[in-house]
Chain A
Amino acid sequence: MADPPLIQLTGITRIYGSGEIAVHALDGVDLTIEAGEFVAIMGPSGSGKSTAMNVIGCLDSPTGGQYRFNGIEVAGLSRDQRALLRRHFLGFVFQGYNLLPRSSALHNVELPLIYKGVGRAQRRAAATEALGKVGLAGRAHHDPSELSGGQQQRVAIARALVGDPQVVLADEPTGNLDTRTSVEIMEMLQALNRDEGLTIVMVTHEADMAAYADRLIWMVDGRIARDEPTRKAS
Chain B
Amino acid sequence: MLWETIRLAIQAIFRNAMRSFLTVLGVVIGVAAVIAMVTVGQGSTRQVTADVEKLGTNIVMVLPGQDTMQGGPGGTADPMFTLAINDAVQEQIAAVALSAPISQSRARVVFGNENRRTDIIGTDNRYFEAARWELQRGRLFEPAEVQSGKPVCVIGETVRDSLFGNADPVGETVRIKALSCEVVGWLKSKGASTFGSDQDDFVILPIRTYHRRIAGNTDVSTLFVSVRDGASIQRTMDDITLLMRDLRRIGRGEEDDFEVVDMKQFATMLSGITDILTGLLSAVAAVSLLVGGIGIMNIMLVSVTERTREIGIRLAIGAQARQVLLQFLVEAIILSLIGGLIGIALGLGLAILGARWLAIPFTPDPGIILLAFGFSALVGIVFGYFPARRAARLDPIEALRHE
Please pick, from A60, A94, A102, A115, the residue contacting B318 in the complex, using a CB distance under 8 A: A115
Q: Which residues, 114 to 169 on B, are CB-close (under 8 Å) to A?
A: none
Shortest Cβ distance from A89 into B: residue: B318
Alpha-carbon separation in the docked complex, A60 to B15 (Å): 33
The number of residues on chain A lying at the interface, defined by a beta carbon within 8 Å of a beta carbon of chain B, is 27
How many cross-chain pairs have Cβ atoms below 8 Å apart between A and B?
A: 55
Please pick, from B1, B323, B400, the residue contacting A98 in the complex, using a CB distance under 8 A: B400
Alpha-carbon separation in the docked complex, A85 to B205 (Å): 96
Contact A115 B323 (CB under 8 A): yes
CB B8 to nearest CB in A, in angstroms, measures: 9
Is B4's beta carbon under 8 Å from chain A? yes
Is A178's beta carbon under 8 Å from chain B? no
CB B320 to nearest CB in A, in angstroms, measures: 5
Contact A80 B314 (CB under 8 A): no
Is A86's beta carbon under 8 Å from chain B? yes
Q: Which B residues touch A114, using CB under 8 A?
A: 1, 4
Q: Which B residues touch A159, using CB under 8 A?
A: 317
Contact B317 A115 (CB under 8 A): yes
Contact B317 A92 (CB under 8 A): yes
Please pick, from B15, B318, B320, the residue contacting A88 in the complex, using a CB distance under 8 A: B318
Shortest Cβ distance from A53 into B: residue: B397
Q: Which B residues touch A59, using CB under 8 A?
A: 316, 396-397
C-beta contact mask, B251-271 vs A, less than 8 Å → 1, else 0? 000000000000000000000
Is B315's beta carbon under 8 Å from chain A? yes
Alpha-carbon separation in the docked complex, A114 to B324 (Å): 13
Alpha-carbon separation in the docked complex, A114 to B1 (Å): 7
Alpha-carbon separation in the docked complex, A79 to B320 (Å): 8
Q: Which B residues touch A83, using CB under 8 A?
A: 315, 318-321
Contact A79 B400 (CB under 8 A): no
Is B346's beta carbon under 8 Å from chain A? no
C-beta contact mask, B302-324 vs A, less than 8 Å → 1, else 0? 00000001101111111111110
Contact A94 B317 (CB under 8 A): no
Please pick, from B319, B396, B400, the residue contacting A115 in the complex, using a CB distance under 8 A: B319
Alpha-carbon separation in the docked complex, A115 to B312 (Å): 14
Which of A98, A112, A114, A163: most chain B Cβ within 10 A? Answer: A114
Q: Which B residues touch A60, using CB under 8 A?
A: 397
Q: Which B residues touch A101, using CB under 8 A?
A: 310
CB A145 to nearest CB in B, in angstroms, measures: 14
The number of residues on chain B lying at the interface, defined by a beta carbon within 8 Å of a beta carbon of chain A, is 20
Alpha-carbon separation in the docked complex, A173 to B375 (Å): 49
Is A24's beta carbon under 8 Å from chain B? no
CB A52 to nearest CB in B, in angstroms, measures: 13
CB A75 to nearest CB in B, in angstroms, measures: 16
Is A117's beta carbon under 8 Å from chain B? yes
Shortest Cβ distance from B316 into A: residue: A92
CB B259 to nearest CB in A, in angstroms, measures: 75
CB A203 to nearest CB in B, in angstroms, measures: 13
Contact A111 B314 (CB under 8 A): yes
Alpha-carbon separation in the docked complex, A115 to B326 (Å): 13
Decide: A117 near B1, CB < 8 A? Known: A83-B319, A83-B320: yes
Contact A98 B309 (CB under 8 A): yes
Is A141's beta carbon under 8 Å from chain B? no
Contact A116 B318 (CB under 8 A): yes
C-beta contact mask, A84-120 vs B, less than 8 Å → 1, else 0? 1011101010100011111000000001101111000
Is A54's beta carbon under 8 Å from chain B? yes
Alpha-carbon separation in the docked complex, A84 to B318 (Å): 6
Alpha-carbon separation in the docked complex, A218 to B323 (Å): 38
Q: Which B residues touch A90, using CB under 8 A?
A: 318
Contact A86 B321 (CB under 8 A): no
CB B11 to nearest CB in A, in angstroms, measures: 8
Alpha-carbon separation in the docked complex, A171 to B181 (Å): 106
CB B315 to nearest CB in A, in angstroms, measures: 7
C-beta contact mask, A114-154 vs B, less than 8 Å → 1, else 0? 11110000000000000000000000000000000000000
Alpha-carbon separation in the docked complex, A215 to B313 (Å): 28
Q: Which B residues touch A115, using CB under 8 A?
A: 314, 317-319, 323
- Identify 9 new A-B residue pairs, CB closer than 8 A, beyond the known A83-B320, A111-B313: A80-B321, A83-B318, A98-B312, A111-B317, A112-B317, A115-B319, A159-B317, A163-B317, A163-B318
List chain A positions with a Cβ less than 8 A from chain B. Answer: 54, 57, 59-60, 79-80, 83-84, 86-88, 90, 92, 94, 98-102, 111-112, 114-117, 159, 163
List chain B positions with a Cβ less than 8 A from chain A. Answer: 1, 4, 15, 309-310, 312-323, 396-397, 400
Query: Can you list 8 A-B pairs with a CB-CB distance of less than 8 A?
Result: A83-B318, A83-B320, A83-B321, A88-B318, A98-B309, A98-B312, A111-B313, A163-B318
Task: Give the 3 A-B CB pairs with smallest separation, nearest first.
Answer: A87-B318, A86-B318, A80-B320
